[in-house]
Amino acid sequence: MTTRIAPGVKGGIGTSVLRPDGEPKVTGNFAYASDLSSEGMLWSATLRSPHAHARLLKIDIGPAVAMDGVRAVLTQDDVPGEPLFGQEEQDQPVLCDGVARYWGEPVAVVAAEDEETARRAAAAIVVEWEPLAPFVDPDKAAEEGSTFRELKVRRGDETATGSVVVEGFYETATQDQAPLGPEAGFAIPDGEGGLDLYVTSQWIHVDHRQIIACLDMEPDQIRCHPAGIGGAFGSREDISLHIHVAMLSLATGRPVKMVYDRSESFVGHVKRHPSRMWYRHEADEDGKLVKVTARLILDGGAYAHTSRAVIANAAFFAVGPYNCDNVVVDAVAVKTNNPPAGAMRGFGAVQTCFGSEMQMDRLAEALDMDPLELRRRNALAAGDPLATSGQIIAGSLPTLAVIDTLEAMPLPDDTIEDDPRLLPGGTGLTTPVSSVVRGVGYAVNVKNLAFSEAFDDFSEARAVMTTAGVEIHTAAMEVGQGLVTVCQQIARTILGTDQVAVVWDDTSQIGSAGSTSASRQTQMTGGAVHAASVGLRDKILESFGGDELREDGVYLHDELVATIDQVCVGGPVGHHVQFRHPETFQPDENGQGDVHAGFVVSAHRAVVDVDPELGLVRVVQVDTVQDVGKALNPQAIVGQLEGGILQGVGLAVMEQLVVDEGVIRNPTFTDYLIPTFVDAPAVNTRVIEEGDHFGPFGAKGIGESPTISATPAVVAAIRAATGRDLTRVPVLPEDIIGI
């Protein structure tokens, strides 16, 4: 079906229309979850385990209860319903159930009249611990079978061999999503035993399911509402404080606010899995991959969260966007007393992209071949089988076009400017121009779109025509990525009016939109909005015998046949849909099958300046080509590409949680370093538009792709500059010097 935008409609698809929440955000008028408050509200605080592994022998809440202004002190004994929660597997106690399994595990929660009293009361709780040896070695966990999931991929001939062989061992550190908005929740009793809960979330319906189970409530008694979110990147895919704040509100009958401070945020959400990866790549003399063998260990920490899905992604994208007929992957997500890991932008593909792209560079070196040429010779395309699962790639996958376009982009000129802000070491004035060497590196990645492995993945949306314009109802979470704008653009394009408002419904008003993760909302909720808008338009056109819907009414052969007031004479007219992507299936015992709904590819080229004597790096420029299917909002795409790249640059050269015997040593922005403006490279972007097989107008989701190969591209550039064989990210100064 071709769609043309009705005359005079502004802000349809393909335009860089500004986001409606942009101005309030930059002027400080946007209400984030942590800004919510009401009369008579209580504050709250959480007591956490000081040990990574310990038996809770005795807890005395008496001293906290006795404090003036304290209204409730709750422990695991006070959980009314299911004692355990979890998105995939219910394995985590709401509050410590006798054994603390990670450092910072919540033990008790307190509500009090003010923030300081709540904090002091939490600290006044007396806990007797018997510290146990923390189990923190992922290799040992894998050996001993302490795992969340073990996944085998066996494709082709295990005995196949190539004449050129490279082997390597790679590691990635624990990266934190570090969203600027901390975890926040606000619970308001409804006076009838239920609650309205405003929470930072990526998926309120999956939160809701876990919350009602633990509170032993009927679904309609608890209503989860989206609250203003300052970034997520996977950190809000799992429950944090939701059940705690709800319990405190139910216990006191008062509105309760809970907000984590920065350090608490670092322990209060799941992180990117740290990984240990061994790879062997075998190729023939022409550089064709013959066999890839990989062993992957991702540390999931103490509780399951999304580890089962993350390890599957790591395994299925272990070879990257390349053809290879013989693949052996053994992947395992292990259970330890390290900080729990879960979703983060790229979701398992980040780790294996680092390992496999480093391998591709080594292979190019061994073959004495240009690294891009090697990638081109093996490039995966639509219609090819994915090297791991054997799934035939449906939709578009312009790997070759992405590589060729990237190579053709101009490089910065060779002059190194004598401005300290543009040199390694930056304002620290460490590095004269004469001490700088430049390097260039490339990397390419492929990742799935939306949920996989037979998950019933859908999004609900309702389009409603009113006399004041169109309302789009959804429970999809806008976390800053710009879904709100895309929904408006899609509805405007189809319904012929620029008067479109997105209305965020709570869990009682509309069904699930699925998670704001897996790069899925543009395709899934965008797809639902598209289908709802088409359904609404067709319903209206049919009722009035028109052939076009415009801002002022229904037209037939360019003549107005019914005004919007006439269309809405019986009240607003709506259309509700549930949108699903193509069906996916569980992999068989060899990891084979149609596991994924769709795929996206992108590539990065990094230019870095390195001070090899001090091991300091400045990432000068990162260029990228992104497969987008169809660019619905070009400016929003650039925003995602720049932001994703910066997060990838962070993992490449600075971001890591330092975890020592299960204890996080740097849970502050003083010591968990994320790139500043001085560290941010210039970014140039190109997009490839080859429509996909599902989603609105052929668009693909691009939330994760830009962060995945940015990291190995930067590391490849540092290798090119220094000759150092770098095998771990982040690359630290001592790694570059080799001490």
Q: Which is nearer to another protein, 207 or 611 (CB)?
A: 611
Q: Which is nearer to another protein, 108 or 616 (CB)?
A: 616
Q: Which is nearer to another protein, 142 or 653 (CB)?
A: 653
The string of DSSP letters for 262-274 reads: HHHHHHHS-BPPP
- With binding defined as CB under 8 A, does residue 28 bind another protein? no
Give the angle 15-20-25 at the CA atoms, nearest 5°: 125
Q: 507, 564, 578: which is closest to 205 by C-alpha?
A: 507
Binders of another protein among 258-317, rule CB under 8 A? Answer: 261-263
- With binding defined as CB under 8 A, does residue 180 bind another protein? no
Single out the segment in contact with another protein by CB under 8 A; choices: 216-224, 234-242, 504-512, 668-676. Answer: 668-676
Shortest spacing between CB 45 and another protein, in angstroms: 10
- With binding defined as CB under 8 A, does residue 48 bind another protein? no
Shortest spacing between CB 429 and another protein, in angstroms: 5
Q: Are 220 and 14 in contact (CB under 8 A)?
A: no
Q: Which is nearer to another protein, 246 or 663 (CB)?
A: 663
Q: Are 208 and 493 in contact (CB under 8 A)?
A: no
- With binding defined as CB under 8 A, does residue 250 bind another protein? no
Backbone angles phi, psi at 46, to 5 degrees: -125, 130
- With binding defined as CB under 8 A, does residue 563 bind another protein? no
Give the HSE-up count for residue 38: Cα atoms under 13 Å, Cβ half-sphere: 13
- Of 4, 55, 140, 421, the residue at the interface with another protein (CB under 8 A) is 421
The residue assigned the tokens 């040990």 is 51
Single out the segment in contact with another protein by CB under 8 A; choices: 256-264, 518-526, 539-547, 572-580. Answer: 256-264
Shortest spacing between CB 419 and another protein, in angstroms: 12
Kind of pairing, strands 164-172 and 326-334?
A: unpaired
Q: Which is nearer to another protein, 22 or 432 (CB)?
A: 432
Q: Which is nearer to another protein, 145 or 432 (CB)?
A: 432
- With binding defined as CB under 8 A, does residue 67 bind another protein? no
Shortest spacing between CB 412 and another protein, in angstroms: 17
Spell out the residues 6+ positions from residue 551 whose beta carbon is closer than 8 angstroms to its own.
6, 8, 9, 496, 497, 498, 499, 564
Q: Are 542 and 532 in contact (CB under 8 A)?
A: no
Cα Rg of the chain (Å, integer): 26
- Give me the 565-604 binding string for another protein, x by CB under 8 A, dash otherwise: ----------------------------------------
- With binding defined as CB under 8 A, does residue 419 bind another protein? no
| Residue 219 token pair | 């679904």
Binders of another protein among 672-701, rule CB under 8 A? Answer: 673, 675-679
Give the three-class secondary structure for 407. Answer: helix
Q: Which is nearer to another protein, 119 or 700 (CB)?
A: 119
Shortest spacing between CB 677 and another protein, in angstroms: 8
d(CA 650, CA 272): 13
- Of 3, 161, 163, 427, the residue at the interface with another protein (CB under 8 A) is 427
Q: Which is nearer to another protein, 556 or 737 (CB)?
A: 737
Q: Which is nearer to another protein, 468 or 658 (CB)?
A: 658
Q: Which is nearer to another protein, 562 or 659 (CB)?
A: 659
d(CA 410, CA 463): 45
Kind and range of the H or E run holding 598: strand 598-611
Q: Which is nearer to another protein, 80 or 428 (CB)?
A: 428
Shortest spacing between CB 309 and another protein, in angstroms: 31
Binders of another protein among 602-621, rule CB under 8 A? Answer: 613-616, 618
What single-letter DSSP state applies at residue 680?
P
Single out the segment in contact with another protein by CB under 8 A; choices: 271-279, 419-427, 454-462, 640-648. Answer: 419-427
In SS3 terms, 499-537 reads as: CEEEEECCCCCCCCCCCCCCCCHHHHHHHHHHHHHHHHH
Q: Which is nearer to another protein, 178 or 502 (CB)?
A: 178
Strand partners, 351: none
d(CA 4, CA 400): 31
- With binding defined as CB under 8 A, does residue 370 bind another protein? no
- With binding defined as CB under 8 A, does residue 29 bind another protein? no
- With binding defined as CB under 8 A, does residue 225 bind another protein? no
Q: How many residues bind another protein (CB under 8 A)?
A: 40
Q: Which is nearer to another protein, 414 or 734 (CB)?
A: 734
Q: Which is nearer to another protein, 60 or 660 (CB)?
A: 660
Kind and range of the H or E run holding 350: helix 349-367
The string of DSSP letters for 642-668 reads: HHHHHHHHHHHHT--B-EETTEES--S
- With binding defined as CB under 8 A, does residue 425 bind another protein? yes
Kind of pairing, strands 84-85 and 92-93?
A: antiparallel
- With binding defined as CB under 8 A, does residue 430 bind another protein? yes
- Give me the 103-122 binding string for another protein, x by CB under 8 A, dash otherwise: ----------------x---
Shortest spacing between CB 231 and another protein, in angstroms: 19
- With binding defined as CB under 8 A, does residue 69 bind another protein? no
Q: Which is nearer to another protein, 629 or 667 (CB)?
A: 667
d(CA 663, CA 366): 41
Q: Are 603 and 407 in contact (CB under 8 A)?
A: no
- Give me the 638-657 binding string for another protein, x by CB under 8 A, dash otherwise: ---------------xx---
d(CA 461, CA 497): 18
Q: Which is nearer to another protein, 79 or 121 (CB)?
A: 121
Q: 346, 343, 348, 351: which is closest to 304 by C-alpha?
A: 343
- Of 429, 558, 571, 589, the residue at the interface with another protein (CB under 8 A) is 429
- With binding defined as CB under 8 A, does residue 219 bind another protein? no
- Of 409, 556, 573, 737, the residue at the interface with another protein (CB under 8 A) is 737
Shortest spacing between CB 178 and another protein, in angstroms: 13
- With binding defined as CB under 8 A, does residue 501 bind another protein? no
d(CA 93, CA 97): 6
- With binding defined as CB under 8 A, does residue 432 bind another protein? yes
Q: Are 519 and 601 in contact (CB under 8 A)?
A: no
Q: Are 464 and 470 in contact (CB under 8 A)?
A: yes
- With binding defined as CB under 8 A, does residue 670 bind another protein? yes
Shortest spacing between CB 735 and another protein, in angstroms: 10
Region for 490 from its dihedrals, namely left if φ exceeds 0, alpha if ψ lies in -120 to 50, beta otherwise: alpha
d(CA 491, CA 537): 10
- With binding defined as CB under 8 A, does residue 55 bind another protein? no
Q: Are 417 and 550 in contact (CB under 8 A)?
A: no
Q: Are 270 and 238 in contact (CB under 8 A)?
A: yes
Single out the segment in contact with another protein by CB under 8 A; choices: 218-226, 257-265, 403-411, 542-550. Answer: 257-265
Q: Which is nearer to another protein, 510 or 731 (CB)?
A: 731
Rounded to a whole number, what is the distance in angstroms from the first to the last CA of the chain? 62
- With binding defined as CB under 8 A, does residue 665 bind another protein? yes
Shortest spacing between CB 665 and another protein, in angstroms: 4
- H-helix segments, 216-327: 242-252, 262-268, 307-316
Q: 187, 214, 366: which is closest to 284 by C-alpha?
A: 366
CB atoms within 10 A of CB 340: 26
Chain residues binding another protein by CB under 8 A are 119, 123, 261-263, 421, 424-430, 432, 435, 613-616, 618, 653-654, 658, 660, 665-666, 668, 670-671, 673, 675-679, 732-734, 737, 739
